[in-house]
Structure 1
Amino acid sequence: MARLFGLIGNRADLAARVLASEADALRVHARGPGPGAKGGPLGWGMGFYQGGEVLIRRRPIDDRPEIDVAKNAHDVRADILIGHVRQATVGSLRTENTHPFRYRQWLFAQTGTVSRFDGIKERLAASVPEFLRGGIRGETDAEIVFHVFLSFLHDAGRLEDMSIEEGVVRDALRSTLSVVDGMTAEIGAEPGALNILVTNGDVIVALHRNDAMAYRQFSGKADADALIGDDLQLRRRAPELAHMHFVLLASDLEDASNAPAPASSKASLARWKKIPDRAIVTLTRGDDPKIEVL
């Protein structure tokens, strides 16, 4: 079982509360041996921006029967974050293979596998400029896909640009997908079912072409009051609640036990909105998600 999630908002002091409010949606249960199930431990990681720094937490092997994403982020103060829970498919369980991957201000995470990756791995890596290719440390398809994405930013002259436009990021993701699909088609493989999140600390762009992806918005004083509850100290430190805004996005929600809300609560489930299949989603602070069909 895997999980991919991203959070963006305008209140770093409330980010952990947002994640905790949807802990059930984000929690991942390890699958033991059995028909159609994969055994072995999971790994997880998350990346976020704090005080002008890019911070990453990774645990490549976690033997617990469930990964509580919200608990892992209980002390995070950040207004943008992406995270990943990994059931290894390509590459061993080690730090270099644990998402998210980083290049300077960029963070990248992926679920799903590039079809027949072994058949195109060398050519795909060779398509990346040498100065970027040298940064590939692990064995995963996701890390190489990330570096293909970076190469398109480089071609556009925007690799170092902190104030990059949303459209440039979307175009680089689309071009990356086109290259990967083209190479897999050449060896007679079907397009890979991938979900991707990428961020530079200013915008999150998601590509959805795998198991279910949905988002939930938290906006305004009523939602802020619900998040803060009876924590009077936090309430005193958190004025201007009417302008609070977060979007929480999660993917790989195909398991009913990990649906984006308890099945018994229709009201809670209704707060999540499913993203159409084969879509690209842009998340920016204070705005509703922008969804485009691929």
Structure 2
Amino acid sequence: MCRWLAYSGTPVLLEQLIYRPQHSLIDQSLHSRLGVETTNGDGFGVGWYADSETGPSVFRDVGPAWNNRNLRELSRNLRSRMFFAHIRASTGTAVQETNCHPFRHGRWLWMHNGAVVDFHRFRRELVLRIDPSLFNAVEGTTDSEVLFFLALTLGLEEDPPGAVERMVGLVETIGRANGVENPVQMTVATGDGEMLWGFRYSSEHRSRSLFYSTDVDTLRALYPDNPVLAMVSEETRLIVSEPLGDLPGAWNEVPESSYGIVGPGRDELCPFRPQAAPRAA
């Protein structure tokens, strides 16, 4: 499986998110505590938004994150209000740049931890449900990218939670028709540069780990002398596969079958309920 983090809030250097914390994403690439694999070295990627006028940029590589000199150099100088960062442990597809997360389409970024169980058994049926206008934008061979383009097909840009619920409903319907009873295992982050959504769900209701950071006002009350908390706004939030440190009260587990919304003036935690699969055109 994989590890990831998504950040929204006061513009910060990438280095502060993926290198400096006690149990940073770089540390997790070698010493994951909660992942299926301890080591996540099958490529990595970061995505970020430079300003409100342009879409996101991405930097991805097939090597491990822990010794990538370009990532280290970039992280010291790259500042953004929204970051996606992902370290990959392949579930069977090739280690190649087009299979590294995050995936991008227009203003949207997407990254995933988990798997579509026995993806090879019904991959063709899923791919054929991607809207023809989006089909040629699929570059890699992962289940994760197929999930993204199915969500786009089903309305991600207009209704992100509803689109992901419809996407999961579709995958479960097709998977079960092919003899896979519990096909979906996922934690997903997606965003458009303004809002960020994080999802935790699995068909068997035993999802991979996912956490969100406690609100900044509460943390300031708990740790008034912490210099990092003095630098960021009240709306700053992180969603992570596993906590970046052991600070008591700083991290909260996302409940099973839930999704969160993070953005200016909005912070919500809602139940996630897959919707019936739409009929094929």
Instruction: Give the TM-score taking structure 1 as reference length.
Output: 0.75
Percent same amino acid at aligned positions?
A: 18
- Per the alignment, residue 253 of structure 2 pairs with 274
Report the 3-state secondary structure (helix = DSSP H, G, I; strand = E; otherwise coil) of the residue aligned with 1:30: helix
Between the aligned partners of 2:80 and 2:250, the Cα distance in structure 1 is: 23
Pair 1:199-2:191 in alignment: yes
Aligned with residue 212 of structure 1, among 209, 214, 237: 209
Q: In structure 2, what residue type is equivalent to 1:169?
A: P
Pair 1:174-2:178 in alignment: no
Between the aligned partners of 1:46 and 1:278, the Cα distance in structure 2 is: 26
Between the aligned partners of 1:40 and 1:274, the Cα distance in structure 2 is: 21
Alignment of 1:1-294 (within 5 A): 2-9=2-9, 11-13=10-12, 17=16, 22-26=21-25, 27-30=27-30, 41-51=41-51, 52-53=53-54, 54-62=56-64, 64=66, 73-153=75-155, 159=157, 164=158, 168-189=159-180, 190-209=182-201, 210-217=207-214, 219-220=216-217, 222=220, 226-228=226-228, 243-251=233-241, 253=242, 259-262=243-246, 268-294=247-273
For structure 2, list consecutive stretches of 5 or more residues without a partner in the other structure: 202-206, 274-281
Give, in angstroms, the shift of residue 64 of structure 1.
4.1
For structure 1, list consecutive stretches of 5 or more residues without a partner in the other structure: 230-234, 254-258, 263-267
Report the 3-state secondary structure (helix = DSSP H, G, I; strand = E; otherwise coil) of the residue aligned with 1:22: coil
Between the aligned partners of 2:228 and 2:245, the Cα distance in structure 1 is: 20
Q: CA RMSD in A?
A: 3.2
Kindly indicate whether the alpha-carbon contact (under 8 Å) linking 2:200 and 2:256 is maintained by their aligned counterparts in 1.
Answer: yes
Give, in angstroms, the shift of residue 269 of structure 1.
3.5
- How many residue pairs match? The answer is 256
Q: In structure 2, what residue type is equivalent to 1:199?
A: G
Between the aligned partners of 2:161 and 2:37, the Cα distance in structure 1 is: 34
Report the 3-state secondary structure (helix = DSSP H, G, I; strand = E; otherwise coil) of the residue aligned with 2:148: helix
- Per the alignment, residue 232 of structure 1 pairs with none
Between the aligned partners of 2:121 and 2:81, the Cα distance in structure 1 is: 40
Report the 3-state secondary structure (helix = DSSP H, G, I; strand = E; otherwise coil) of the residue aligned with 2:63: strand
Between the aligned partners of 1:63 and 1:19, the Cα distance in structure 2 is: 10
Give, in angstroms, the shift of residue 13 of structure 1.
4.1
Between the aligned partners of 2:47 and 2:98, the Cα distance in structure 1 is: 14
Give the direction of change, closer, same or farther, for the CA distance of 1:37–1:212 in structure 2 (3 Å limit): closer
Between the aligned partners of 2:17 and 2:30, the Cα distance in structure 1 is: 24
Larger Rg: 1
Kindly indicate whether the alpha-carbon contact (under 8 Å) linking 2:37 and 2:89 is maintained by their aligned counterparts in 1.
Answer: no
Q: In structure 2, what residue type is equivalent to 1:24?
A: H
